[in-house]
Amino acid sequence: MVMRGGTSKGAYFVADELPADPAERDELVLRIVGSPDPRQIDGIGGANPLTTKVAVIAPGDGGRADVDYLFLQPSVTEPVVSLTQNCGNLLAGVAQFAIERGLLTVAPTAAEARVRILMVNTDSVATATFPVAAGRPVYSGATAISGVPGTAARVRLDFEQIAGSTCGALLPTGNPVDTIDGVPLTLVDNGMPVIVLAAAAVGLTGYEPPAEIEADTALKARLESIRLQAGPLMNLGDVTSASVPKITLAAPPRDGGTLSTRTLIPHRVHDAIGVLGAVSVATAALLDGTPANTVLEPAVRAAAAAGGEVVVAVEHPTGTFDAALTVAVGPGGPDVVSAGIIRTARRLFDGVVYPRPPAASPTASTGASR
């Protein structure tokens, strides 16, 4: 099934329908999406990392979660499939897919479903809450999110214990501010490993269109140098071929939000911002003295200092993303203890995919998971 989840789009599979061997599974996924090929002309990929995603769904164990969700990120141009991150956008459609495929059942009289989802990549749990009718997901509704035309049904995602889910700690170095190549930055993982720095620190306003940043080869080389050095500091090792950490450039808000962002994912500039990436960036912005905190809307900074639920409206190239963070105030300053966001999702296509035949060459890459 092809579904839109948030501002991403991808293919959803029941786990039993794919090979159990990870290398065989990833090789098949690459053939299904048409990678490696910048146009993905011989597959169902969208020729962009944001529209070339795969969700693999299995029944949960009945205890910790109702359903298991493994996210696969196939490269568009390389024979590689990454498992090093979650995708909070595709997460918005996981529970609905599970119901559509009969992995979950909902009482026919229920108006709302609450489904606990184990995000296998990081061994963390999220709860999806969304409308249902006659035991089926409802996709139409009045909720609009930036980057998606029209409206759809509201999907609330609440995350549990995602701090350090990939890097082992919210701040892998233990510092709210580190310096790499003379640039102050925050290395943070609240569901997604992200390097957050002030856009001004690398000579940008932070309001540049994505294409302008992508065309600046000197800037991209500088940012990639920072990213490669940050990998070991974030307990990620050599990240040369990895899809994390992302890099977010922060600037003061200018469209009524809390702060403005431009995010590299990591080599393309996101047209919006990822769900868990936004949560990590918002978290960094609420920590005293960080580069993102210095450009944060002052009223929101004051709200974080007081504790409670704080909504961080993250501006991005195509709109605004709201992250609701619960903040506890301790002797070391604000501490983010939970996060929730609003997304929408929609079923786009349900059918059979015909992958291209395997490569004839015995030396062809298998796209094995790393």
- Delimit the domains of the chain by residue range: 2-154+345-349, 178-343
Distance CA 142, CA 151 (A): 5
Domains 2-154+345-349 and 178-343 share a fold: yes
Distance CA 142, CA 260 (A): 26
CATH class of 178-343: alpha beta
- The pLDDT, as a whole number, for residue 370 is 33
Distance CA 124, CA 128 (A): 13
Region of residue 65 (phi > 0: left; psi between -120 and 50: alpha; otherwise: beta): beta
Give the DSSP H/E element, type plus range, for residue 26. helix 22-33
Number of helical (H) and strand (E) elements in the chain, helices listed first: 7, 18
- The pLDDT, as a whole number, for residue 366 is 42
What is the dihedral angle through the alpha carbons of 346, 115, 123, 267, rounded to the nearest 10 degrees? Answer: 20
- How does DSSP classify residue 348? E
For 5-40, the pLDDT digits (tens) are 999 999 999 999 999 999 999 999 999 999 999 999
- The pLDDT, as a whole number, for residue 360 is 67
- The pLDDT, as a whole number, for residue 362 is 44
Report whether 297 contacts 286 (CB < 8 A): no
For 166-221, the pLDDT digits (tens) are 999 999 999 999 999 999 999 999 999 999 999 999 999 999 999 999 999 999 99
Give all strands (DSSP E) within the chain, no chain letters: 2-5, 8-14, 53-59, 67-74, 81-82, 112-119, 124-133, 136-137, 155-160, 178-180, 183-189, 193-198, 246-251, 259-264, 308-316, 319-330, 333-343, 345-349
CATH class of 2-154+345-349: alpha beta
pLDDT < 50 regions, the chain:
362-370
- The pLDDT, as a whole number, for residue 305 is 87
